[in-house]
Amino acid sequence: MKLTIKILNGLITTVLAITLLSMIFIVISSKAAGGEPSFFGYQIKTVLSGSMEPTFKTGSVIAVKPIEDAMNLKKSDVITYLKQDQSIVTHRIVEVIKNGDQVMYQTKGDNNKAVDTQPVLAQNVMGKYSNFTIPYLGYFIDFAKSNKGTALLLIIPGVLLLIYSAISILKALKELDKMNKNSGVEKAV
């Protein structure tokens, strides 16, 4: 029974510590990147609309690999690009348009009926979708980027870890006190 409790205590401590470190990583990398964090060379993007459903759902997080040469993409690649209004979009290439040295891509969201109104210049392509998606995590990351989210995601796991540590220390002190009392009784006898 004591071994089970000890293992459970260690597991809870580990989970709380990992949670705290994860929250710190997400918050700091989101703030440092000015938006979505990067992880192992991949940009992490939050899906804000349903234009690419069912490939990925609104609120999902996708991993996008930055590309060096955007001139060699092909039809059916899913790309992330910068529009003229400075918004970032992730859609599928439905046609590659080559005009001399210039390459453009006609794109379309999988859930959209029509193609996008303007072709994407190769130099505006930021990256290519890496086929890695985590549903609904984007809502969490957007919350983490807010001031309240930053505070809560750093403070709550830290406070929980401190409370749990205090409880563990108090239990250990009671156990030591109990052992001292027992050893005092044996000496008196």
In angstroms, how far is CA 188 from the centroid of its own chain?
A: 61
Which tokens is 125 given?
């392509």
Lowest mean pLDDT among 10-14, 19-23, 109-113: 19-23
DSSP 95: E
Q: 3-class SS at 156?
A: helix
pLDDT of residue 76: 92
User: Which residue is catalytic, options 29, 30, 49, 76?
Assistant: 49
Q: In residues, how long is the chain? A: 189
Which tokens is 73 given?
């993409």
d(CA 6, CA 182): 22
d(CA 38, CA 30): 8
pLDDT of residue 34: 59
- Residue 107 pairs in a beta bridge with 93
d(CA 125, CA 127): 6
Q: Which of 26, 20, 24 is nearest to 157 (CA)?
A: 20
Tracing tokens 């029509």 back to the chain, one arrives at 114
Mean pLDDT of 26-46: 68
User: Are 26 and 153 spatial neighbours (Cβ–Cβ below 8 Å)?
Assistant: yes
- Would the pLDDT of 26 be above 70? no
d(CA 157, CA 180): 34
d(CA 22, CA 44): 15
The torsion angle over the Cα atoms of residues 49, 76, 122 and 129, rounded to 10 degrees, is: 50
- Would the pLDDT of 94 be above 90? yes
Q: 3-class SS at 45?
A: strand
What residue ranges do the domains of the chain occupy?
A: 2-164
Q: Determine whether 30 is an active site residue.
A: no
Report how far apart, in Å, the C-alpha atoms of 81 and of each of 27, 49, 58, 64, 154 are.
Answer: 24, 15, 18, 11, 32
- Would the pLDDT of 104 be above 60? yes
pLDDT of residue 28: 67
- Residue 121 pairs in a beta bridge with 104
* 2-164 homologous superfamily: Umud Fragment, subunit A (2.10.109.10)
